[in-house]
A = this chain, B = another copy of it.
Amino acid sequence: MKNYITHDEWCIIEDGFHPEHNVITESLMSLGNGRMGQRGNFEEKYSGKSLQGNYVAGVWFPDKTRVGWWKNGYPNYFAKVINATNWIGIDVEIDGVELDLATCEILSFRRELNMKNGTLRRICTLRLSNGHEVEIVSERFCSLAHDEAGMINYAIKPLNFAGKAKVTPYLDGDVSNRDSNHGEKFWEEVGKEVKGSEAYLTMKTKKSAWENVPQFTVTSGMRMKFYQKTKEIDPVSLPVKKEKYIGFSYELPLITGEQTIIQKYTCNLSSDNHAPEKQVETAKKYLNEIYHLGFEVLLGEHTKEWEKKWERNDIEIKGDIAAQQGIRFNIFHLQQTYTGEDARLNIGPKGFTGEKYGGVTYWDTEAYCLPFYLATADSKVARNLLIYRHNHLQKAIENAEILGFSNGAALYPMVTMNGEECHNEWEITFEEIHRNGAIAYAIHDYINYTGDKKYLSEYGLEVLIAISRFWAQRVNWSEAKCKYVMLGVTGPNEYENNVNNNWYTNLMAQWTLKYTLESIEYVKAEFPERWKELSAKLNFNADLEEDKWEHIIEEIYLPEDKERGVFLQQDGFLDKELMEVDEITEHRPINQKWSWDRILRSCFIKQADVLQGMYFLEEKFSLEQLEANFDFYEPMTVHESSLSPCVHTILACKLGRIEKAYEMYVRTARLDLDDYNNDTEDGLHITSMAGTWMAVVKGFGGMRVNKGEISFDPVLPEGWESYSFRVGIGSELKEVKVNKEGFEVVNL
């Protein structure tokens, strides 16, 4: 755990430079606008520890899969969002000495992410090896209003000298991913162009071994503006060209005590959104527009967009500034990562803040992120998350075919970029099939929240039928049990692999079948034409399929221990040595200290599994049942997934156990800010941030939605004076204010 970030309500502040934590700070101070994102790297050269990261949404490469022993059905490649052209770079040399925070003396330093308006600001004073003291103030943002543009305002002020600065702003496409196999680089240069103080660099992803994978072209542009004493100046641009690199060199006179301001206007255009053959031309127009608006206007527009966002989704916590900072930090990053403008995009586990997990889509999106966007954004945002999976339906069907399924059964991939499976551990890829349940559940969740039943008819039902077909083929009749069983699965608790009858998976399969049958009835009745068309397209055999589904719904095996009154995570769970987490304190985290077999045969649970089911389908279970299962499973849960504590917070609140709920809550609220797990340098836990939001709103706030009807049942954690949150439902924006006296719900 680290504690070097200053607690503040609206800002993430590094006061005084911490080079030893620089890679962490870069993650924390990442900026994004849903279309592009950028780690909190310095503009000028930095020879210390750093992880450069510039990402363009939707741009990826099929990296070679690393695997020891191949299994049939493994994916050929691992799709990963790749580091793209570095557009922030501005190298600075002052009277012949290169500016590099790793080598000069730092007299003062402050780096600050302002979450209120999404800007990253740095102010520092430095003493160079030649004794020159200089102040650097840089500010930048990725515009929410113009989501292919990023702007930098970089000011140099000589404090004790007059002299000359050599300034080299550049675009550098010669970048690589830290996690690429054998340091392979993924980009090739297509071309570059210079015109006055404008430069354009077009890079294209390499041709891969896979024909069906598109190559992406990204054109980055930059245009420079300079001010001295508030007046624009026009220094001579000397182009600097290298392979995959274009820059300008400027000589600027520096006046003692006066700022020289360097403004860099940039854009990053992807072939995903622009015809590649016209991309440079388009970039020129785009950049011209941006440039003429100017930094201040652009910043104003950007700030306004952030205001709108905060207006809808701020959470205010009084009496606990660390908690306040934590929750805003989570909301801020979620809003930066995904804006819901483009149904081809999704939410990578690290968003735009690092390379880990390849920026691909997991079931996190449906299970954790969807509720956040449902409540905090226009319904089209959540809808686009569903459309994303609908668009991938054909690939999910093909994926299931590879595994031996037929008749339009779909198995969605565990991790994906374009709908194809990218994961290659058999116990996950082939067996962690409960993801299919979460994708079905998200459809229900969306319709329940928005009332948009038309979605069911247009898109949802097709997905539901394909998933139900999968479940119906995936179970088999056990003569021994006289029940349908589901063999060889991995549940949400990945500390069990290849188990039989995972209660959660069986439950979600049963639920999906039931919801699909209901949905068929609904669409049949309300949109008969559509049903006719759809059932023909899907070759749906109502007699056979519906009967089989009904039978499975009735006869699926759901393991339980009646004596204890608990559902059993899987067959044989009670054969384990049942222990509590408290008994193995010195062995934690077990995923670092124990071998995999020891983890597997232990009773310890990585993240909510039975309890995840009781959270999703809470109306099916009584409080007593919830209590018995919570008391049985929670003490065995090590929460070694960042997605675990939030579900426990919500359930603990429901059980009135506020202290326990709060204990769970603090584990994730500042997970990245305090670098709890020593992994923030890999990037932020974006998807688990949505869980933290849920812990507040659905946990402490007790928010529930039932067919569009919203209700609250708030509690106030000890130590908080008050809190309030805003959620939108239908056309209403509600503010829930909770304090020691009680709570009120205000329609805004």
Contact = CB atoms under 8 A, between A and B. Distances in A.
Given A402-B595, A426-B596, A572-B571, A497 B498 contact: yes
A403 interface: yes
Contact of A593 (B72, B426, B497): B72
A595 B72 contact: yes
A102 to B, nearest CB: 29
A67 B424 CA distance: 10
A481 B575 contact: yes
Nearest to A486: B601
Interface stretch (A123-131, A332-340, A472-480, A707-715): A472-480
A425 to B, nearest CB: 5
A742 interface: no
A404 B595 contact: yes
A500 to B, nearest CB: 5
Interface in A456-502: 476-481, 485, 487-488, 497-498, 500
Interface residues of A, number: 47
A498 B500 contact: no
Interface in A400-415: 402-404
B67 A487 contact: no
A601 B488 contact: yes
Contacts of A72: 591-596
Given A479-B574, A497-B497, 11 more contacts: A66-B68, A68-B424, A402-B595, A403-B595, A403-B597, A476-B575, A485-B575, A488-B600, A500-B572, A571-B572, A572-B572
Interface of A: 65-69, 71-73, 182, 402-404, 424-427, 430-431, 476-481, 485, 487-488, 497-498, 500, 571-572, 574-578, 591-598, 600-601
Contacts of A498: 427, 497-498, 600
A477 B497 CA distance: 21
A488 B602 CA distance: 10
A352 to B, nearest CB: 24
Number of chain copies forming the complex: 2
A72 B589 CA distance: 12
B402 A480 contact: no
B476 A430 contact: no
A594 B73 CA distance: 8
A577 B402 CA distance: 21
Contacts of A487: 572, 575-576, 600-601
10 contacts: A66-B66, A68-B68, A72-B591, A72-B593, A73-B595, A426-B596, A476-B601, A477-B577, A481-B575, A497-B498
Contacts of A497: 497-498
A736 to B, nearest CB: 42
B597 A426 contact: yes
Return the 6 tightest CB-CB contacts between A and B, nearest first.
Answer: A430-B597, A73-B595, A480-B574, A488-B601, A487-B601, A478-B575
A571 B574 contact: no
